[in-house]
């Protein structure tokens, strides 16, 4: 199969597939393949963009990846509403529960390896790169799953204040986090930006890679079948240029985690963030080659607030008893 | 006699029966110059503009000293001095750096009385507070952070911490010396050098601290102190050789700072405004809670970013709490900050007094019921009685906006869910208070409050080991404790 599919006609569809680019053209007496419609993921549902718009990213060979939802401001807002609604439940879920759900994501991802490899290859990677990326994505979810019930223990503190008080500082999630996912590494980049955010109890609104969006929606299906409560992860496809200001200005987004190589867009977000003092975390797009890049609990801490709690201790010692 | 009976009608007539004789703290032992220059590169330097402004005593409206006004040139000089000092200071063996900071802590303790008196003179806070809270805590902050200097490798697992560089630090007028300590101590312990700007109404204790820095023998340029108003601050923020901004002040100015560093590599911590909920449940120890409410809102004339300025009372105890609160307010003594009996000192400035009075007018106009203490006020100086508003609505300005004065807005609630929603319904998230005798309820409430510091059955407690800072529009970053160190380190 080699024909470019610039204009998808019925005839084209009869002879080749949009998403199944495995190099084997369809034989005449084979069945007609059912093509996948890529939609967005909001509040645990897979709607199309409310705008009804789409765009057609292509791979390096000029092949069209699909009719991808061109999300709008309204989609961002709907996603934030869904994420906010899910926040109380998800942040209140036990660490063990969060851990299990992240591990479940890894399991689901592992069993659908083939599909992701196919998508990543179609998006332009080699088979070997694709295999490596999918494996690394699985490892990412396993790694961060394990932190769910440990980062508090490692990074929190009991503070020895002068006076009869019990005083401790512990971490709490920032809230709703906007994630501008990496443009490359369409699967691993999502895993690396989403896992540290949700394992700490945040809920997220993710803008997937514009040029390589296929994995984002398939990964959403993985989330959906991994007991991630609806609204905890919301995934949009579309153009950063169009949506950047809404991530920056939305008053109910607490933080933005930015993973693109675009100072212009970063600065737009940073400037708009001032209105509600959003926390903006900028991550240099990573190659995700070293462990230091891919396994970093400080990425969890980046999206946490420290809460310090005081309570008096009755001074029993003063009356003579004690231990 | 049941609990109920004990709590009806009984009242100590403290205000009517007892008169306190004046007990003023002496000012004879303090050492103040008539004129203060800028402290740059270990020396006192005249401002390049030749301009000076007055710092006055808000309790008497009398001038205390001339203070140099630093402009962009002066700030540049200070930053250059700090940059030059950074290399050697950050490379100094950590335990030696620690000892310099320990020296500062000790010198503050030795001269605690002088610092307390100057703090009260310049800022208007009651001597009881500057003596028992501000100055000892400032010394404690240096003492606590000094010890971190050679232990930083243990603070951040898996990371190699390194100093950032030159820190620009801008502090407010409500806790002048203490805020200087919060800023300087961790910055220095982590190996950074500093350009610090105290608030224009309260520069004296920071300048006195410069004397201690000299006395402690710190290398020149490690600590630079420049005085001035907003424009001096913006020269610091916008200087391109500053690596880190630490700001404590209003949310409005914090936003300007956040915006002006976009596109730079400057790191920032912002400790901004608040509108804290102080929640009192039916089962709370009522008398202790009333003390906590008083301390929560009238401490330091209410000039406290984490002040418990919104009181939520569970309905069954509303009448009782309000009665006790009013009785207690009537015992508060407002007056000479230097008098040891004074509970509430002078409002920091004429401008702030006007702001507070404007809010009181707004509160009355919005239809809330107004109450103020029965005490008398001195005829001179900037003073305000302790006040409270009842019958306020969530949408009222005095509920939504930070007043930064002795004004308490009182609301009621019936259920836990209701009070959690009301308490969190604010753009701020600095602090909160909860009063109840039930442990499980405390932890429900403290974990539901979207705020960085939560006091349960106490209020307005501070400690160098205890991280402090806000959620949401109360800013970001923490000061104090282990968590306060990361603001002054690159974690590689």
Using the beta-carbon criterion (under 8 Å), do B466 and A310 form an inter-chain contact? Answer: yes
Q: What is the pLDDT of residue A9?
A: 39
Residue A80 near residue A205 (C-beta atoms within 8 A): yes
Q: What is the pLDDT of residue A28?
A: 63
| B129 catalytic per annotation | no
Residue B252: name the closest of B357, B401, B353, B356 by CA. Answer: B401
Contacts of A157 in chain B (CB under 8 A): 467, 481-483
Using the beta-carbon criterion (under 8 Å), do A308 and B482 form an inter-chain contact? Answer: no
Of B359 and A185, the one with more pLDDT: B359
Q: Which member of B158, B454, B476 has the closest CB to residue A307?
A: B454
The rounded percent of chain B whose pLDDT value lies above 70 is 96
Using the beta-carbon criterion (under 8 Å), do B254 and A277 form an inter-chain contact? Answer: yes
CA dist list (Å): B77 to A288, B187, B467:
43, 20, 33
Distance, CA of A93 to chain centre: 19
Whether pLDDT at B288 is above 50: yes
Using the beta-carbon criterion (under 8 Å), do A270 and B457 form an inter-chain contact? Answer: no
Rg of chain B in Å (alpha carbons): 23
Q: Is A311 near chain B, with CB under 8 Å?
A: yes
Using the beta-carbon criterion (under 8 Å), do B461 and A309 form an inter-chain contact? Answer: no
* pLDDT tier for residue A33 given thresholds of 50, 70 and 90: confident
- b/e sequence B425-449, b meaning 16+ C-beta within 10 Å: ebbbbbbbbbbbeeeebbeebbebb
Q: What is the pLDDT of residue A314?
A: 85
Residue B204 near residue B54 (C-beta atoms within 8 A): no
Residue B205: name the closest of B234, B230, B174 by CA. Answer: B174
Mean pLDDT for A174-195 is 96
Mutation target for A interface from B481, B489, B490, B491: give the one with most A CBs within 10 A.
B481
Rg of chain A in Å (alpha carbons): 22
Q: Is A162 near chain B, with CB under 8 Å?
A: yes
Q: Is A313 near chain B, with CB under 8 Å?
A: no
Q: Domain ranges in chain B? A: 35-272+471-491, 274-456
Residue B306 near residue B276 (C-beta atoms within 8 A): yes
Mean pLDDT lowest among A168-172, A183-187, B229-233: A183-187
* pLDDT tier for residue B12 given thresholds of 50, 70 and 90: low
Mean pLDDT lowest among A287-296, B26-35, B92-101, B235-244: A287-296
Q: What is the pLDDT of residue A221?
A: 97
Closest-CA distance, B239 to chain A, in angstroms, reads 19
- Number of Cβ within 10 Å of residue A296's Cβ equals 19
Q: Which member of A169, A263, A267 has the closest CB to residue B483?
A: A169
Distance, in Å, from the CA atom of A236 to the CA atom of A280, rounded to the nearest integer, reads 19
Contacts of B258 in chain A (CB under 8 A): 270, 273-274, 277
Distance, in Å, from the CA atom of A34 to the CA atom of A13, rounded to the nearest integer, reads 10
Residue B114 near residue B32 (C-beta atoms within 8 A): no
Q: Which two tokens stand for residue B13?
A: 């007539």
Q: Which member of A172, A298, A308 has the closest CB to residue B467?
A: A308
Topology (CATH) of B35-272+471-491: Aldehyde Dehydrogenase; Chain A, domain 1 (3.40.605)
Closest-CA distance, A165 to chain B, in angstroms, reads 9
Distance, in Å, from the CA atom of B180 to the CA atom of B246, rounded to the nearest integer, reads 11
Using the beta-carbon criterion (under 8 Å), do B259 and A271 form an inter-chain contact? Answer: yes
Using the beta-carbon criterion (under 8 Å), do B458 and A165 form an inter-chain contact? Answer: yes
| B271 catalytic per annotation | yes
CA dist list (Å): A231 to A43, A84, A141, A252, B425:
4, 8, 19, 14, 22
Residue A190 near residue A208 (C-beta atoms within 8 A): yes
Whether pLDDT at B339 is above 50: yes
Which DSSP letter does residue B240 get?
T
Of the residues B119, B129, B305, B314, which is catalytic?
A: B305
Q: Is A264 near chain B, with CB under 8 Å?
A: no
Residue A252: name the closest of A131, A86, A116, A119 by CA. Answer: A86
* pLDDT tier for residue A13 given thresholds of 50, 70 and 90: very low
Q: What is the pLDDT of residue B52?
A: 98
Cross-strand partners of B432: B277, B454
* pLDDT tier for residue A12 given thresholds of 50, 70 and 90: very low
Whether pLDDT at B8 is above 90: no
Contacts of A216 (CB under 8 A, 6+ apart): A181, A186, A190, A206, A208, A209, A235, A237
* pLDDT tier for residue A247 given thresholds of 50, 70 and 90: very high
Distance, in Å, from the CA atom of B438 to the CA atom of B436, rounded to the nearest integer, reads 5
Q: Which member of B447, B461, B481 has the closest CB to residue A310?
A: B461
Mean pLDDT for A176-193 is 96
Mean pLDDT for B66-74 is 98
Which DSSP letter does residue B192 get?
-
Distance, in Å, from the CA atom of B396 to the CA atom of B313, rounded to the nearest integer, reads 17
Q: What is the pLDDT of residue B14?
A: 59
Mutation target for B interface from A280, A293, A309: give the one with most B CBs within 10 A.
A309
Instruction: Pick one of 3.40.309.10, 3.40.50.10860, 3.40.50.10440, 3.90.1150.10 as the CATH number of B274-456.
Output: 3.40.309.10
Using the beta-carbon criterion (under 8 Å), do B157 and A159 form an inter-chain contact? Answer: no
Using the beta-carbon criterion (under 8 Å), do B140 and A162 form an inter-chain contact? Answer: yes
Distance, CA of A66 to chain centre: 21
Using the beta-carbon criterion (under 8 Å), do B466 and A263 form an inter-chain contact? Answer: no
Q: What is the pLDDT of residue A293?
A: 85
Q: Is A94 near chain B, with CB under 8 Å?
A: no
Contacts of A174 in chain B (CB under 8 A): 471
Helix runs in B3-93, H state only: 3-6, 14-17, 72-91
Q: What is the pLDDT of residue A37?
A: 87
Using the beta-carbon criterion (under 8 Å), do A277 and B140 form an inter-chain contact? Answer: no
Mean pLDDT for B337-348 is 97
Q: Is A254 near chain B, with CB under 8 Å?
A: yes
Q: What is the pLDDT of residue A284?
A: 84
Contacts of A267 in chain B (CB under 8 A): 262-263
Using the beta-carbon criterion (under 8 Å), do A311 and B456 form an inter-chain contact? Answer: yes
Q: What is the pLDDT of residues A106-159, one digit of tens each?
A: 999 999 999 999 999 999 999 999 999 999 999 999 999 999 999 999 999 999
Q: Is A277 near chain B, with CB under 8 Å?
A: yes
Closest-CA distance, A310 to chain B, in angstroms, reads 5
Q: Which two tokens stand for residue A296?
A: 């970093």
> Closest residue of B to A307, CA-based?
B452
Residue A202 near residue A175 (C-beta atoms within 8 A): yes
Mutation target for B interface from A95, A152, A169, A248: give the one with most B CBs within 10 A.
A169
Q: Is A61 near chain B, with CB under 8 Å?
A: no
Q: What is the pLDDT of residues A257-267, one digit of tens each?
A: 999 999 999 99
The full set of domains in chain A, from first to last, is: 1-35 (no CATH), 73-312 (3.40.605.10)
Residue B333 near residue B430 (C-beta atoms within 8 A): no
Which DSSP letter does residue B406 get?
S
Interfacial residues of B (vs A; Cβ cutoff 8 Å):
140, 157-159, 251, 254-255, 258-259, 262-263, 270, 272, 427, 442, 446-447, 450-458, 461, 463, 465-469, 471-476, 478, 481-483, 491
Beta strands in chain A (DSSP E): 54-55, 68-69, 157-158, 165-173, 176-180, 203-207, 233-236, 255-258, 279-282, 304-312
Q: What is the pLDDT of residue A5?
A: 38
Residue A54 near residue A69 (C-beta atoms within 8 A): yes
Mean pLDDT for B364-391 is 96
Q: What is the pLDDT of residues B301-315, one digit of tens each?
A: 999 999 999 999 999
* pLDDT tier for residue B5 given thresholds of 50, 70 and 90: very low
Which DSSP letter does residue A285 get?
P
User: What integer best gives the mean pLDDT of chain A?
Assistant: 90
User: What integer best gives the mean pLDDT of chain B?
Assistant: 96
Instruction: Report the sign of the C-alpha dihedral through residues B201, B309, B450, B286, in that order.
Output: positive
Using the beta-carbon criterion (under 8 Å), do A161 and B461 form an inter-chain contact? Answer: yes
Contacts of A163 in chain B (CB under 8 A): 461, 463
Q: What is the pLDDT of residue A239?
A: 98
Contacts of A270 in chain B (CB under 8 A): 258, 262-263
Q: What is the pLDDT of residue A315?
A: 75
Distance, in Å, from the CA atom of A23 to the CA atom of A29, rounded to the nearest integer, reads 17
Using the beta-carbon criterion (under 8 Å), do A307 and B456 form an inter-chain contact? Answer: no
Q: What is the pLDDT of residue A290?
A: 84
Mean pLDDT for B45-67 is 98
Contacts of A161 in chain B (CB under 8 A): 461, 463, 465-466
Whether pLDDT at A7 is above 90: no
Q: What is the pLDDT of residues B210-240, one digit of tens each?
A: 999 999 999 999 999 999 999 999 999 999 9
Whether pLDDT at B135 is above 90: yes
> Closest residue of B to A167, CA-based?
B466
Residue B105 near residue B428 (C-beta atoms within 8 A): no
Residue A296 near residue A290 (C-beta atoms within 8 A): no
Whether pLDDT at B13 is above 80: no
Of the residues B25, B271, B473, B479, which is catalytic?
A: B271
* pLDDT tier for residue A36 given thresholds of 50, 70 and 90: confident
Residue B202: name the closest of B299, B121, B139 by CA. Answer: B121
Q: Which two tokens stand for residue B212?
A: 């201690």
Using the beta-carbon criterion (under 8 Å), do B453 and A254 form an inter-chain contact? Answer: no
Closest-CA distance, A311 to chain B, in angstroms, reads 5
Q: What is the pLDDT of residue A2?
A: 37
Residue B269 near residue B477 (C-beta atoms within 8 A): yes
Strand order through the sheet with B407-413: A157-158, A165-173, A304-312, B453-456, B431-435, B277-280, B310-314, B407-413, B387-390, B369-372
Q: Is A252 near chain B, with CB under 8 Å?
A: no
Of A296 and B19, the one with more pLDDT: A296
Mean pLDDT for A211-217 is 96
């Amino acid at each position: 199969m080699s024909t470019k599919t610039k204009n998808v006609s019925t005839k084209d569809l009869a002879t080749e597939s949009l998403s199944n680019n495995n190099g084997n053209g369809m034989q005449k007496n084979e069945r007609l393949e059912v093509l996948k419609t890529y939609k967005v993921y909001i509040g645990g549902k897979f709607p199309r963009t409310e705008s009804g718009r789409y765009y057609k990213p292509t791979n390096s060979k000029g092949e069209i990846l699909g009719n991808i939802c061109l999300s709008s401001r309204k989609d961002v807002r709907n996603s934030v509403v869904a994420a906010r609604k899910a926040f109380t439940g998800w942040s209140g879920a036990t660490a063990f529960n969060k851990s299990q759900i992240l591990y479940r994501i890894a399991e689901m991802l592992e069993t659908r390896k083939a599909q992701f490899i196919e998508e990543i290859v179609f998006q332009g990677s080699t088979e070997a790169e694709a295999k490596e990326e999918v494996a690394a994505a699985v490892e990412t979810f396993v790694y961060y799953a394990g932190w769910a019930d440990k980062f508090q223990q490692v990074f929190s503190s009991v503070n020895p204040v002068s006076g009869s008080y019990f005083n401790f500082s512990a971490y709490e999630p920032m809230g709703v986090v906007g994630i501008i996912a990496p443009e490359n590494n369409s699967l691993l980049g999502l895993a690396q930006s989403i896992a540290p955010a949700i394992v700490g109890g945040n809920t997220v609104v993710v803008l997937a890679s514009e040029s390589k969006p296929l994995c984002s929606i398939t990964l959403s299906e993985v989330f959906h079948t991994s007991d991630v409560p609806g609204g905890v992860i919301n995934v949009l496809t579309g153009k950063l240029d169009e949506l950047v200001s809404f991530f920056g200005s939305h008053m109910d987004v607490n933080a933005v985690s930015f993973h693109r190589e675009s100072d212009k867009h970063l600065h737009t977000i940073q400037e708009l963030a001032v209105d509600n003092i959003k926390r903006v975390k900028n991550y240099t797009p990573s190659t995700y080659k070293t462990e230091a890049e891919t396994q970093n609990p400080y990425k969890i801490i980046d999206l946490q607030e420290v809460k310090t709690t005081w309570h008096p201790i009755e001074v029993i010692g003063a009356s003579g008893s004690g231990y | 006699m049941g609990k109920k009976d004990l709590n009806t009608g009984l009242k100590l007539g403290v205000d009517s029966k007892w008169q306190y004789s004046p007990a003023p703290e002496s000012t004879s032992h303090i050492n103040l110059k008539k004129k203060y220059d800028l402290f740059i590169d270990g020396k006192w330097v005249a401002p390049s503009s030749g301009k000076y402004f007055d710092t006055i005593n808000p309790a008497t409206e009398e001038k205390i000293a001339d203070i140099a006004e630093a402009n962009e040139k002066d700030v540049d000089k200070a930053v250059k001095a700090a940059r030059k000092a950074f290399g050697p200071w950050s490379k100094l063996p950590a335990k030696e750096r620690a000892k310099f900071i320990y020296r500062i802590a000790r010198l503050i303790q030795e001269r605690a009385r002088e610092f307390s008196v100057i703090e009260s003179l310049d800022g208007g806070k009651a001597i009881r507070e500057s003596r028992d809270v501000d100055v000892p805590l400032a010394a404690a902050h240096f003492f606590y952070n000094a010890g971190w200097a050679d232990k930083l490798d243990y603070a951040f697992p898996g990371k190699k911490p390194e100093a950032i560089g030159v820190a620009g630090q801008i502090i407010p007028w409500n806790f002048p010396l203490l805020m200087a300590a919060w800023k300087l101590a961790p910055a220095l312990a982590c190996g950074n050098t500093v350009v610090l700007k105290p608030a224009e109404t309260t520069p004296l204790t920071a300048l006195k601290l410069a004397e201690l820095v000299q006395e402690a023998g710190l290398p020149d340029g490690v600590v630079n102190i420049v005085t001035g108003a907003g424009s001096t601050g913006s020269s610091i923020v916008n200087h391109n050789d500053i690596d880190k901004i630490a700001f404590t002040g209003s949310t409005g100015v914090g936003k300007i700072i956040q915006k002006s560093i976009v596109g730079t590599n400057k790191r920032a911590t912002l400790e901004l405004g608040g509108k804290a909920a102080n929640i009192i449940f039916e089962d709370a120890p009522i008398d202790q809670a009333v003390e906590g409410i008083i301390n929560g809102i009238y401490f330091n004339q209410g000039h406290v970013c984490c002040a418990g300025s919104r009181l939520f009372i569970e309905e069954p105890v509303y009448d009782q709490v309000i009665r006790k609160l009013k009785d207690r307010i009537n015992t508060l003594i407002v007056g000479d900050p230097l008098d040891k009996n004074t509970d509430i000192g002078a409002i920091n400035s004429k401008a702030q007094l006007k702001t507070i009075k404007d809010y009181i007018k707004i509160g009355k106009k919005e239809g809330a019921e107004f109450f103020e203490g029965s005490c008398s006020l001195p005829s001179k100086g900037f003073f305000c009685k302790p006040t409270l508003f009842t019958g306020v609505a969530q949408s009222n300005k005095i509920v939504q906006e930070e007043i930064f004065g002795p004004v308490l807005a009182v609301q009621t609630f019936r259920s836990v869910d209701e009070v959690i929603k009301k308490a969190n319904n604010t753009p701020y998230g600095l602090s909160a208070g909860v009063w109840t005798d039930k442990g499980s309820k405390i932890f429900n409430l403290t974990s539901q409050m979207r705020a960085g510091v939560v006091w349960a059955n106490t209020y307005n407690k501070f400690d160098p080991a205890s991280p402090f800072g806000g959620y949401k529009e109360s800013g970001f970053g923490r000061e104090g404790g282990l968590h306060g160190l990361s603001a002054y380190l690159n974690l590689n």
